[in-house]
Amino acid sequence: MTTLFGQLVIGPPGSGKTTYCHAMGQYLKGLGRKVAIINIDPANETFMYEPQVNIMQLITLEDAMTNLKLGPNGGLMFCMEFLEKNFDWLIQQISRFKGHYFIFDCPGQVELYTHHNSMKNIMEKLDKFGLRLCSLHLVDSHYCSDPGKFISTLLLSLSAMLQLGLPHVNVLSKIDLLSKYSSKLQFGLDFYTEVLDLNYLLESLSEDPFTRKHEKLNAALVSLIEDYSLVSFIPLNVSDKNSLLRVKNAVDKANGYIFGSGEQQSVQSLLACAVGAEFDHDRIGADRDVYS
């Protein structure tokens, strides 16, 4: 079975998922990759790109809400459950794009990535099909301007990482707009991207009369995040090619694209062991794009 690669683009509504899919798709095509963008958001009616596969040919959110008398949240969950039950349709659609790199544009309902099982089950089936995915979680960078919102963002990212069980890259989107909120940032950008000592945020929360009464809860949440020590972020400006390059390299490392597949991966690993070399992952990823 041929190994395929791709990324699952997730995140809350308004985090810039569709914009990112378009920008990254164009960027990867410029590097010589064959890219297929797969829309699995049944509520996405406005595209910046031309989806090669579109779940709305199978089911739409409007269909679910009208015929089953569901609200938007329940309708989205039903649509994902429907896609899971009709997984063969998705495989048939994907199979038309041999040798492509896949970008999945996903719904914005966070429950789908934190505790609902349909998305997780779909990803496990895609893995068995031979598709090596990395989940790319976008969150709006303006959440950095509020300590409480940033801790919530950390918890959301951590929950998604644990629930999906995929290689994972967290991204602070719209970083070019952060200047609007820079006066509200209590620390430098590195503090938020590297998720440094969160006790400083606890001090900020203690100064707020509203959050001060939840001091013990805040401390417990911060302790939980730090105990896992899994969450960090890459800043992203979709109009900056260097920014897209950093995200691309991180995803390529996470899903194994830089190592190739099958025999290529085994040969590279053996060579690394034989000479004790450390691969320059960024360079290898760039070389694969030039020569693939």
52: Cα within 13 Å, side-chain hemisphere: 22
- Domains in the chain (CATH in brackets) are 4-196+231-255 (3.40.50.300)
pLDDT value for 3: 85
Q: What is the pLDDT of residues 82-130, one digit of tens each?
A: 999 999 999 999 999 999 999 999 999 999 999 999 999 999 999 999 9
Q: What is the pLDDT of residues 272-290, one digit of tens each?
A: 444 444 445 455 455 556 5
pLDDT at residue 175 is higher than 70? yes
Is residue 250 a contact partner of residue 281, using CB atoms and an 8 Å limit? no
Q: How far apart are CA 105 and CA 53, in angstroms?
A: 10
Quote the pTM value: 0.87
Is residue 257 a contact partner of residue 189, using CB atoms and an 8 Å limit? no
Angle at which helices 118-129 and 147-164 pack, to 10 degrees? Answer: 50
Phi-psi region of 48 (alpha: psi -120 to 50; beta: other; left: phi over 0): alpha
pLDDT value for 1: 59
pLDDT value for 86: 97
pLDDT value for 291: 43
